[in-house]
């Protein structure tokens, strides 16, 4: 049965119960007591019938739920002539289930908004004209027009001078982001600036937004471990309730006291508070760009004690960046960068692309090179403004110049040499840097209860150990293969639940093996996102902090609601057994408790993480020295 059909049925049952109760009260006031009892019973029976059907379905699956208590209380109240109490229970029970659905619907609002934003078509350039095509017709390499207000239908790169995009639905960033030519755009981003051209990098089904939608749909199907725990202990609660009701009847000889005990116990706040609080937590985390695939990993996040971090693309940016330029003779740094970037435009190597990106960031004008010849993995030769230029690894360039020598550089650095008209012109030093705010991020993890933080990487020991001193990690594990990362995750479980954070295909097995796997979803591999329990929708490791705080807060709110609700219910049951509450009073009291715990559980929608203020991270980053450079990606390149 679809959720919309279930919601309509709950509304119908609530309406029937309300009409029966209110009309019956009117008849009772008018002195028509017999007719009033008939109306009350008429309003109760449909609710009771629907409840019995639900219980039968649950029993057929081997599940014993606390709804049995509600069925017993309504049945007992009708049997012993307490039709008004039965009507109150029916109204409050149907109202409680409707309120639960309403609360879960509100908690999922942001996720539904995400699903509703899926574009259906795209505007494609074809033979000098624009054509509107279905989403599935867009292929990698297509040039699309993204008009103001349009949602990018696929991942791609900016082909125009610039693009201003609202990424709030994906990342939680409140401010629009400006993208320069050649920069990547995530599908699902909304164009809030002038129209621009987008070069599709993959099909719609393979794009970021499509993957996010699939993850959201999977998240909405989950059931929390605490909810399953409630089901397992429902027999115990049912036994306690029935025993207390039977005891009150046995010792007093008054069956009405048993009815009062049953109605006070219906329904247990445990079945309402847990799912509402955890689903609200899922929605709140999504607001911060943290997509948690269900209530189970949300609860598991609150129990994490050990964190294992991948390095390249996770702890570091995963992209080489220029850290220094060494010019020879009268040439300036900009001269060296302009010449090198001009020639590197002809190469797709990651190092070449990093050099070109650095030149564009400085606003340098890059002419078109000519007579380009590339030696894959070594370097590029060609003409720039009539001059002969060589750009590549030191060995490649110096051997071409007939002067074989090397250039000393630090661990993890890549040195690119440039020769101009047969002479060495200079060097560009690149490295993969630590992400901004890494030290503050790790300190924040310690504050919220992460006891051990380890680095797991496939890089050489010298490169991996370069960051140990500055970051204060508990252990650095270098030169690991994917299966060794899995073994590390399993061995660390002796210290408590383990969370693994990674972004590459090689991290996917470890992410799946961890109690909670976290993938860098913005630029990470699809395999890691599929294997992970949590996906960071923006390429910012700091987003994990609010995700963890929300998980802790949601679990705490759920437990608070359960403990308070159960405590009040038990107190009410004892009062009913002692004769201080009539069935009608007991029913009203219990349903007030249920409404209170649902409203309390909804507080998870308003959890305000201490790390919410992103400007604080920026300010902290300006106050610390730049981190030591780390190794570039292992894709290979000029050395």
CA distance 22 to 77: 18
CA distance 304 to 301: 5
**DSSP single-letter state for residue 604:** G
CA distance 267 to 168: 39
For residue 115, how far is the Cα from the chain centroid? 14
Q: Of the candidates 151, 155, 147, 148, which has an alpha carbon nearest to the alpha carbon of residue 117?
A: 151
The reply to whether omega before 224 is within 30° of 0 (cis) is no
DSSP string, 224-256: -HHHHHHHHHHHHHHHHHHHHHHHHHHHH--HH
How do beta strands 190-191 and 163-166 pair? antiparallel
CA distance 212 to 31: 61
HSE on the CB side for 106, CA within 13 Å? 15
CB neighbour class for 404 (10 Å; exposed up to 12, middle 13-18, buried from 19): exposed
CA triple 59-65-68, angle to 5 deg: 90
Q: Which residues have a catalytic role annotated?
A: 310
CA distance 626 to 629: 9
HSE on the CB side for 257, CA within 13 Å? 19
For residue 538, how far is the Cα from the chain centroid? 10
Helix or strand or coil: residue 153? coil
CA distance 586 to 596: 15
Cα separations (Å) of 246 from 241, 250, 259, 273, 582? 9, 6, 9, 28, 16
Q: Of the candidates 603, 351, 580, 310, which has an alpha carbon nearest to the alpha carbon of residue 455?
A: 310
Helix or strand or coil: residue 276? helix
276 and 599 Cβ atoms separated by less than 8 Å: no
CB neighbour class for 106 (10 Å; exposed up to 12, middle 13-18, buried from 19): middle
Q: Which H helix or E strand runs over 177?
A: strand 177-179
């Amino acid at each position: 049965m679809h959720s919309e059909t279930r919601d309509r049925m709950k509304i119908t049952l609530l309406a029937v119960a309300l009409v029966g109760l209110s009309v019956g009260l009117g008849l009772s006031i008018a002195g028509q007591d017999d007719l009033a009892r008939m109306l009350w019973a008429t309003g109760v029976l449909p609710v009771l019938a629907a409840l019995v059907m639900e219980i039968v379905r649950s029993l057929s699956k081997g599940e014993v739920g606390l709804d049995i208590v509600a069925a017993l209380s309504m049945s007992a109240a009708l049997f012993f002539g307490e039709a008004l109490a039965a009507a109150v229970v029916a109204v409050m029970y149907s109202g409680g289930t409707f309120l639960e659905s309403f609360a879960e619907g509100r908690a999922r609002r942001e996720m539904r908004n995400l699903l509703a934003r899926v574009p259906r078509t795209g505007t494609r350039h074809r033979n000098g004209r624009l054509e509107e095509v279905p989403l599935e017709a867009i292929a990698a390499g297509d040039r699309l027009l993204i008009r103001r207000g349009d949602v990018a239908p696929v991942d791609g790169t900016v082909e125009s001078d610039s693009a201003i995009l609202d990424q709030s639905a994906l990342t939680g960033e409140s401010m629009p982001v400006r993208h320069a030519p050649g920069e990547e755009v995530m599908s699902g981003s909304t164009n809030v600036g002038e129209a621009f051209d987008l070069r599709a990098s993959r099909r719609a089904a393979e794009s970021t937004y499509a993957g996010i939608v699939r993850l959201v749909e999977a998240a909405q199907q989950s059931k929390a471990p605490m909810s399953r725990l409630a089901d397992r202990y429902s027999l115990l609660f049912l036994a306690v309730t029935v025993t207390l009701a039977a005891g009150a009847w046995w010792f007093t000889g008054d069956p009405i006291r048993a009815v009062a005990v049953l109605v006070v116990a219906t329904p247990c706040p445990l079945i309402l508070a847990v799912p509402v609080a955890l689903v609200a937590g899922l929605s709140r985390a999504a607001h911060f760009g943290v997509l948690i695939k269900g209530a189970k990993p949300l609860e598991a996040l609150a129990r994490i004690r050990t964190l294992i971090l991948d390095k390249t693309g996770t702890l570091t940016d995963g992209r080489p960046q220029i850290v220094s330029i060494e010019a020879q003779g009268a040439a300036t740094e900009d001269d060296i960068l302009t010449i090198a970037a001009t020639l590197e435009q002809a190469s797709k190597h990651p190092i070449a692309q990093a050099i070109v990106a650095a030149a564009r960031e400085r606003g340098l004008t890059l002419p078109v090179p000519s007579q380009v010849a590339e030696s894959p993995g070594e370097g590029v030769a060609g003409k720039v403004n009539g001059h002969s230029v060589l750009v590549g690894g030191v060995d490649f360039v110096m051997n071409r110049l007939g002067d074989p020598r090397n250039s000393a550089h630090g661990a993890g650095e890549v040195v690119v040499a440039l020769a101009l008209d047969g002479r060495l012109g200079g060097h560009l030093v690149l490295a993969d840097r630590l992400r901004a705010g890494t030290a503050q991020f790790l300190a924040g993890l310690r504050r919220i209860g992460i006891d051990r933080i380890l680095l797991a990487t496939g890089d050489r020991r010298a490169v991996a150990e370069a960051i140990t001193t500055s970051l204060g990690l508990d252990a650095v594990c270098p030169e690991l293969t994917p299966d060794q990362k899995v073994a590390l995750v399993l061995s660390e479980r002796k210290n408590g639940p383990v969370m693994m954070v990674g972004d590459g295909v090689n991290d996917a097995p470890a992410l799946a093996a961890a109690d909670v796997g976290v993938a860098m979803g913005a630029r990470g591999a699809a395999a890691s996102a599929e294997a992970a329990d949590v996906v960071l929708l923006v390429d910012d490791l700091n987003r994990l902090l609010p995700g963890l705080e929300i998980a802790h807060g949601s679990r705490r709110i759920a437990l608070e609601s359960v403990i308070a609700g159960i405590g009040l219910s038990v107190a009410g049951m004892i009062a009913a057994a002692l004769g201080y509450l009539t069935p009608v009073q007991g029913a009203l009291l219990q349903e007030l408790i249920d409404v209170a715990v649902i409203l309390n559980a909804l507080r998870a929608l308003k959890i305000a993480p201490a790390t919410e203020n992103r400007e604080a991270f920026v300010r902290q980053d300006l106050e610390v020295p730049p981190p030591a450079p780390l190794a570039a990606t292992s894709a290979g390149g000029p050395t």
